Amino acid sequence: MSKPSPDPRPTTKRPVVVHPSPTRLGFDEACAFLNARTDVEKLRPTQVPGGTLRLDRMHALMAALDHPESQTKLVHVAGSKGKGSVCEMVTAALTGAGYATGLYTSPHLVDIRERIRVGSSIISKEDFGAAVSDVAAALPAVERKHGPATYFEVLTASAFIYFAAQAVDVAVIEVGLGGRLDSTNVITPDVAAVAAIQLEHTQILGNTLELIAREKAGIFKPGVRVITIPQAPEVMNAFREVASTVGCQLSVVGEDIEFTSRFESSPELGPHHKVCLYTPRSSFEHLPVPLKGEHQAYNCGLALAILDALRERGVVLSELGVARGLATANNPGRLELIHASPRIMIDGAHTHDSIHALLRSIGSHLKYDNLIVVFGCSSDKNIPEMLAKLAQGADKIVFTKAEGSSRAAEPRDLQRKFAEISGKQTQIGATVRDAINIAHKAAQRDDLIMITGSFFIAGEAKRLFLEKAAKKA
């Protein structure tokens, strides 16, 4: 496919400035360098050192690296649920339209390089080591004034360096935690978006939807177009207040932007949603939503609205290119089949709302006799609500926990709490491997095994099956 016409606007893109580190790290060395740093993803909220979440250090690091984050057009996506799906669909559509599109997302399932991609291609081990090396070379001067950088800060800076070196046309950046103090929030994007807001990370972001919404709205920038989907009244009130204070235009898919969706089934696609989105610039009509689940219809609408906003910023896109690209979208770790017989799937659902959406998606898109769930989650989640949702849909549950995670809830505690609300059969697997073996022995031909509760659980399961396949090869 030929590349689209260049951006007609005057460009401010500067030549990429590279300051190679005198010591180049190999991939394993780069991983070791990262793993030696504070990783908020693996810590309980009470274990996060005070002052860890801040932006002055990240701003200083970007300056020391000659601002690689300013080298390209940017899309910034926050949210509690669905932001990863939105990022995947935007990236697929832009790639299908002929653009070199960077994607920075988190967490990863098996390989840390999954977090940094151009199109569908993850960063190579050599380039990963080189990018981390450049960050490492800049860190001493920054850390003398601002303190030690975190795992996520180093990784985010490495992604910006890689996208600049690759001269991508657009980079899609997923917020890690919250928004206001997230390491990605050093950027000024061409368009920002917020997916569904739920109660999550309440000990860090706040214990109400309004407080969490305000943290997410921390990515709003003066003059930057912001798009969201219909949300709870307290969320929308917070968004509108922040947008007014900051000075940015806030648009809502389905309210300010014309949007419709419908559920249907066809021999080619099976059960799926189709969506339409119209603006003065765009007519995206009857596009199949590439990801399964009722909630993905609005995520797709949000992705299409982002593409329309990029058109407003001068990115040339054809409806045909968008449709072709969107159809290829895939979201690893979301209803992902990792074994065929018996069917074993993984999903990174990690809140009670996402568990609810997962069970609805399974019921709408899959046929099975019994649903066997392998479940483990972080101890700081709303466990009673998650278990209550599981009780509504699972026929049997095997509780387990991911290895090496200090946040993981103990399987015995999960089983005890579940017994207080349901009499359904449960077992315990000391490890994810043990839990999968227990579920496998219990499964009949037409049963479905779903491994869920966190990305750590889903990722460990996927790694085990990849290792098994590699041994057979």
Query: For helices 352-365 and 383-393, what crossing angle results, to 10°?
Result: 20
User: In which residue are the tokens 């010591």 written?
Assistant: 23
- Cβ(124)–Cβ(3) below 8 Å: no
C-alpha gyration radius of the chain: 22
* H helix or E strand, kind and range, residue 322: helix 319-326
Sequence-distant (6+) residues with CB within 8 A of 349 are 355, 357, 358, 452, 453
**273 pLDDT above the threshold of 80:** yes
- Cβ(272)–Cβ(266) below 8 Å: yes
Cα(309)–Cα(317) distance, integer angstroms: 11
Please give the residue that has the higher pLDDT: either 231 or 199: 231
- Cβ(159)–Cβ(65) below 8 Å: no
CATH 3.40.47.10 fits 27-326, yes or no: no
Q: Would you say how long the chain is, in residues?
A: 473
- Cβ(65)–Cβ(157) below 8 Å: yes
Of 164, 179, 205, 186, which is closest to residue 57 (Cα–Cα)? 186
DSSP secondary structure letter of residue 453? S
pLDDT in tens, 112-154: 999 999 999 999 999 999 999 999 999 999 999 999 999 999 9
* H helix or E strand, kind and range, residue 265: strand 258-266
pLDDT-based confidence at residue 7 (cuts at 50, 70, 90): very low
Cα(310)–Cα(227) distance, integer angstroms: 12
From the candidate CATH numbers 3.40.309.10, 3.90.190.20, 3.30.830.10, 1.10.4160.10, the one assigned to the domain spanning 336-472: 3.90.190.20
Greatest Cα-to-Cα distance within the chain, rounded to the nearest angstrom: 66
- Cβ(402)–Cβ(432) below 8 Å: yes
Q: In the predicted model, what is the mean pLDDT of the chain?
A: 92
How high is the pLDDT of residue 209? 95
Q: Give how far Cα 459 sits from Cα of 104, 172, 178, 449, Å.
A: 18, 22, 22, 15
pLDDT in tens, 274-322: 999 999 999 999 999 999 988 899 999 999 999 999 999 999 999 999 9
pLDDT in tens, 50-83: 677 899 999 999 999 999 999 999 999 999 999 9
- Cβ(321)–Cβ(99) below 8 Å: no
How high is the pLDDT of residue 290? 96
Cα(75)–Cα(267) distance, integer angstroms: 35
pLDDT in tens, 432-445: 999 999 999 999 99
Beta partners for residue 289, in sequence order = none
- Cβ(289)–Cβ(253) below 8 Å: no
Q: Domain ranges in the chain?
A: 27-326, 336-472
Cα(429)–Cα(437) distance, integer angstroms: 8
Pairing of strands 170-174, 396-399: unpaired
First to last CA, the chain: 34
For the chain, give the percent of residues with pLDDT over 70. Answer: 95
- The pTM (predicted TM-score) of the whole model is 0.91
